Structure 1
């Protein structure tokens, strides 16, 4: 990434903000060393760890901690062992006790982190994979940790020899002190010292003696007090005792050095693991710092799109440094949302001064840098292409760094950006065409933006020039946007509104900032008519858009209400249909029970009367079964039609007159069908009724009413329910083809075919079964012989299929 871009977009200031979320110097060092990466795997790895750390913290901090089985992870106790590790890498060096303690403390804390994250491996695999780099130092800690006291000194039990030496030192010290106290008691009568104390000078025990009395004491003088009134003398009888004590202390120091050298050797053997552990802890601390920042600032993990589907989209994005400043002041900031994709890769932002155009550019640029660095971004949604370069020309008084606002500096920087721009680049241009003649600046700005558009780069530019505003509105692939301005308060709203350009509102802002009215009046008089017309047009465009937005919102509310009403209607219809289906099922069940009862009754009657009355019981049974079957079909058909037409529902009162007997030609309403028909024939117990194109036989008691003819000139009343019965194609009732079918399936189809033909009053039908081995022909012949509708059957003539078909004549 270009260093100047990082500087202009204040990436270092962002890292300084994030540094406060790291728990240790290791994490802080990793964070400050971050830079945007061009490696997709590096970005993905950082973001995956940050996402898992965010969820881990969410589960272990605050309200989620009580119910979580996760162990808390803490990094605040770690120090940076880089200096100690560098010393340890030098062969022959010996670490001091505090340096050994620092490494052991890091190892001890790292083991806790490792244990916590490996226990949650299934839920947080990327954190666990990093934790695996932490060494297993349990054996090392058991061996070395108990040898050092909390005070930083070696414990007496660090070695048997050290314990022996220290015991000898204590004994020798006790003897020496006893000797010196005896000396002081013997000399007390002569007042040789002012205070009966024993002190140490030059690592030897001595007693204080008045300076004027020092000649009376045999011994070695080791120093004088600051006042010169006292000298410190080692009595002659204490010299050998002191010498022995010094010798023992030197022996102790040698043993301590030997132990430290031995501990250093053990640590040096684990140097690679210690170095890897320090690196892993730094990476994990960085990940958890990102997680804490993401929770604190409501950040999301950015998504990346492939080059063929490149898309830059932000929803509710906030500039992290500005948001931190707003938090300190107790104010809120206005987020921005935008989307650049497909062919629309250029966005031109216009609007008032101090309205937030530069902040919008910096927000997009800084969040893109954060995504490339593998950091969560403050937004509710964030999607970026894999950007190779982020190039910015952002230089104004809002920048923390030195401004590059001169015209020449801008052009030099833009020329360099043109050389580097490519389809995977993000170009940011602030106040394009400033610091020169407005007409030339507008033309130059159009040319610059169009050059970047031609390169395919994602480009965002801010401007005040009318030429650029018109270019954005009229050029395919270029979107126009404005930073909102409240005409009532004469102040910016800081809200990015995409779809139309914005007014600069310089005079309005000048009025709000307190410029004298006469100066403002003079400025308005100096404005050109064309400029004023453009400003009025933009105002009217904004008002119309606000009206359209309001109408869209109202339409959406109505659509939602209609969807709700439709859902309620569908629910009610389904409920009613379920109730009708249940009623239909109940009627069918009653019908079958009635059919079974009648069949059993008829069979019993046949059995009782067969011997005395019928010469051929088999034919009589077939006739009865045929009648029962025909009656069942009629009742089932009536039930079905009644169900689907609503005939089973209560009928409204009509004008028909009920009569006792129907005659040929009368219009009757049938109970079973729920429909009206015309009587075409009449027998003793049956009526042949024509319903549309269908003729059927019904018993006399199926007539619910006889409908009188309409009065002349009076239209028939409209029924609330209509049933349309399709005419069956005659060919489908005059013949059927069952070639290639199994016998059972063919019998079933032909049986249904004969029923339909019988109802349609067909006298003669043809059944095509093929020749073959004759199995199908034989099976059908057996069925024809017993079928109640069949009068007779015979092989078809040669011209109608010969042995491959059968002609069946029906009883009509």
Structure 2
């Protein structure tokens, strides 16, 4: 990625790195963090962000990451590179520390939620055999254990025996000297690490041995008896043997790790990487950062509730930034008062871009950030004494480089565009520069005070005016940005607030005349016309929606009336049929009585025929009614199974909307439809095919969806209060159940965790919830809860 160091300085990125490095657990990690540099490779950026995200999810869930301060291994590496060189006790202590931390990390991070760190986790050096070998030869004070080898144990036993012999021999000679009154003192003394007996100078010949000194008065002579000296010499030989055996043990263990040197170095590098991403995750948690979204084709910059982390670190009051532009307006011209926050907007957008492309999350409520291949800044004083450049010349030098190098994937941030020279010339040059940027399709965000540029920008396609809001009542900036409308510099108002002499301000207004006011008036008129057009469009859309809803209501009433009529007719026929059956039963009973009384057979037969005829008439009417209903149902089913084809226009009553079939029904009657760019899985009974001759105008109108119903499988409640969020969640889940959705997701963000916890507690109480869990780290982690409905 092309990026000058001056860009990192202008945007205070180094300050972010220093703050992040405060969380590190080693000097090497600190060095690595301070060397972080943004990338323009999409896959590399995604990997870094996901590694940070999975560790952040762990922190938010309350899991601790078992990493602690760990030592450098450069001296270990240097020693092991030379064959025959053993590590010393302190080096083995440091190596064991690395092994222990790596083992604990591998155990904790081996869960599927840390798949983004799989390569680093698997590379950690956690050789269990090596750990056991180290523990076997060292005691808890990191001294070589007497039991490190059988030979060493044997030597220690001999040393102990010789030391006991020395003590025994000395005690015997001391008692003899004492009994003979040869002593000049009451105890055996230690002189130059040798045990000696203090003998009166007049009796020094009485004890055969080596004289190691005498007292300052000359009255006492310090003698090591000859018998003790012989044992002492044997002890020296044993001490030499002990050191030789220890060297052998250390060398043997060092050779074991020498063969593992590449794995040790690889594991240490992975440990640094994990520590670095842990620091980035802790930074994200401390400053309430989230994982931003990326946009396809780099066609949008969106920041909602953005807070400049550099200002937060400095404990300054921060006003949240809301900023949104797309590829139709890639150039934004910001105007407004001095000290009103224009430069902060530039720096915040630039800093967010660099942070994201370096693997950092950013402190926003929501963000969509393109991936830039180049970022340029022209902020502050570029004056160069060494190159004999004035401030303006230095700016031009920088702009020349930018205009040569920029392309459609370049972000350019320019402060005070057009200043430093004659205003007319500066405005002309600035306009030409922006026209060049338009031609190159670069992203440019610039600040200016030049009214001519504001007017030109308002009339030019591809450029968006914006202003920093100024409180005219209090004569103070609010530090908030308003997109779509230019602003004033409020120079005279600010001068008044700063208590500049009123006569000077009055004269300035006279000199200013109405030229500036005319520009402001034209800009205001343009903005007014734009708002009026927007109102007219909005009114037309509302009228279209009203007409559509009226048509739908009429169709619904007609359908309900027809259904009620069919139901009433069927109920009536059923009642008649029931009555006829009962009548026939009574008639049969009557006939039986007539027969029993030997009535006329013909009259009885005629009566029965009439009754049968009535029964057949009613039955036939009833059969035809049922047949008509079955035919309607059959035709509907036939239409569902044979005519529902890809590309067909359909109506979805539950959403009061129209869409297209994008996947034909399967054997279960399930199909996929497209609705305003969203794909939904529905049953064929939930849709109604419509004629192809529906007008484009009507189609444009009726594809407006009532989003209070679950046309999406995801609910976004970030930034809402807990009560608002839960209320939205209840409505969303109700709609999901009615729509027959099986899985949905709730995007609540991580933040302080309060909204996340409230969602979790509510889901636990609902019987229609089959299960719920956090999303995979690659898909949002603990910021999204995935819900399965029964």
The TM tier, using the shorter chain, reads 0.5 to 0.7
1:335 is aligned to 320
1:107 is aligned to 99
Q: Could you tell me which of 369, 375, 381 is aligned with 2:354?
A: 369
Equivalence map 1:206-221=2 (5 Å): 206=196, 220=210
Please say if 1:319 is aligned against 2:308. yes
Please say if 1:358 is aligned against 2:343. yes
Q: Distance in 1 between matches of 2:74 and 2:568?
A: 86
Checking the alignment, whether the CA contact within 8 Å between 1:26 and 1:285 is kept in structure 2 is no
Equivalent residue of 2:613, what SS?
helix
Q: Distance in 2 between matches of 1:481 and 1:233?
A: 99
1:60 is aligned to 62
Q: Distance in 2 between matches of 1:175 and 1:628?
A: 131
Q: Against the structure 1 CA distance between its residues 267 and 617, is the aligned structure 2 distance closer, same or farther, given a 3 Å change threshold?
A: farther
**What stretches of structure 1 of length at least 5 have no aligned partner?**
62-71, 638-812
Displacement after TM superposition at 1:78 (Å) = 2.2
Q: Distance in 2 between matches of 1:583 and 1:295?
A: 64
Aligned-pair Cα RMSD in Å: 4.5
Please say if 1:387 is aligned against 2:387. no
Q: Distance in 1 between matches of 2:200 and 2:563?
A: 124
**What stretches of structure 2 of length at least 5 have no aligned partner?**
628-790
Deviation digits for residues 447-483 of structure 1 (CA, Å, limit 9, x no counterpart): 1122122111111111111222222212111111112
2:405 is aligned to 420
Checking the alignment, whether the CA contact within 8 Å between 1:404 and 1:410 is kept in structure 2 is no
Q: Distance in 1 between matches of 2:566 and 2:215?
A: 121
Count the aligned residue pairs. Answer: 603
Please say if 1:624 is aligned against 2:614. yes
Q: Distance in 2 between matches of 1:217 and 1:494?
A: 98
Please say if 1:596 is aligned against 2:587. no
Equivalent residue of 1:272, what SS?
helix
Q: Against the structure 1 CA distance between its residues 598 and 281, is the aligned structure 2 distance closer, same or farther, given a 3 Å change threshold?
A: same
Q: Distance in 2 between matches of 1:129 and 1:217?
A: 75
Q: Could you tell me which of 159, 166, 169 is aligned with 1:169?
A: 159
TM-score scaled by length of structure 1: 0.65
Q: Distance in 2 between matches of 1:362 and 1:6?
A: 10
Deviation digits for residues 79-115 of structure 1 (CA, Å, limit 9, x no counterpart): 2323323432333321111111211221122111111
TM-score scaled by length of structure 2: 0.67
Displacement after TM superposition at 1:418 (Å) = 1.3
Q: Against the structure 1 CA distance between its residues 214 and 6, is the aligned structure 2 distance closer, same or farther, given a 3 Å change threshold?
A: farther
Please say if 1:479 is aligned against 2:464. yes
Q: Distance in 1 between matches of 2:11 and 2:356?
A: 14
Checking the alignment, whether the CA contact within 8 Å between 1:429 and 1:461 is kept in structure 2 is yes
Deviation digits for residues 493-525 of structure 1 (CA, Å, limit 9, x no counterpart): 111111112222223333334444444444444
Q: Distance in 2 between matches of 1:320 and 1:593?
A: 79
Between 1:442-451 and 1:221-230, the stretch displaced more is 221-230
Q: Against the structure 1 CA distance between its residues 529 and 216, is the aligned structure 2 distance closer, same or farther, given a 3 Å change threshold?
A: farther
1:279 is aligned to 269
Q: Distance in 2 between matches of 1:76 and 1:403?
A: 51
2:190 is aligned to 199
Q: Distance in 2 between matches of 1:510 and 1:231?
A: 97
Displacement after TM superposition at 1:532 (Å) = 4.6
Q: Distance in 2 between matches of 1:470 and 1:230?
A: 109
Q: Could you tell me which of 459, 464, 467 is aligned with 2:449?
A: 464
Equivalence map 1:144-293=2 (5 Å): 144-181=134-171, 196=187, 198-199=189-190, 201=192, 204-206=194-196, 220=210, 234-293=224-283
Equivalent residue of 2:147, what SS?
helix
Equivalence map 1:129-148=2 (5 Å): 129-148=119-138
Equivalent residue of 1:333, what SS?
coil
Q: Could you tell me which of 341, 345, 353 is aligned with 2:330?
A: 345
Please say if 1:436 is aligned against 2:421. yes
Equivalent residue of 2:61, what SS?
helix
Checking the alignment, whether the CA contact within 8 Å between 1:205 and 1:242 is kept in structure 2 is no
Checking the alignment, whether the CA contact within 8 Å between 1:27 and 1:284 is kept in structure 2 is no
Between 1:269-278 and 1:512-521, the stretch displaced more is 512-521
Displacement after TM superposition at 1:594 (Å) = 4.8
Q: Distance in 1 between matches of 2:44 and 2:509?
A: 56
Equivalent residue of 2:411, what SS?
strand
Deviation digits for residues 597-656 of structure 1 (CA, Å, limit 9, x no counterpart): 41353366377689533668996566223443478699999xxxxxxxxxxxxxxxxxxx
Checking the alignment, whether the CA contact within 8 Å between 1:446 and 1:467 is kept in structure 2 is no
Q: Could you tell me which of 85, 93, 103 is aligned with 1:93?
A: 85
Q: Against the structure 1 CA distance between its residues 523 and 615, is the aligned structure 2 distance closer, same or farther, given a 3 Å change threshold?
A: closer
Q: Distance in 2 between matches of 1:199 and 1:404?
A: 79
Checking the alignment, whether the CA contact within 8 Å between 2:458 and 2:523 is kept in structure 1 is no
Deviation digits for residues 783-806 of structure 1 (CA, Å, limit 9, x no counterpart): xxxxxxxxxxxxxxxxxxxxxxxx
2:647 is aligned to none
Please say if 1:77 is aligned against 2:69. yes
Q: Distance in 2 between matches of 1:317 and 1:228?
A: 87
Q: Against the structure 1 CA distance between its residues 353 and 433, is the aligned structure 2 distance closer, same or farther, given a 3 Å change threshold?
A: same
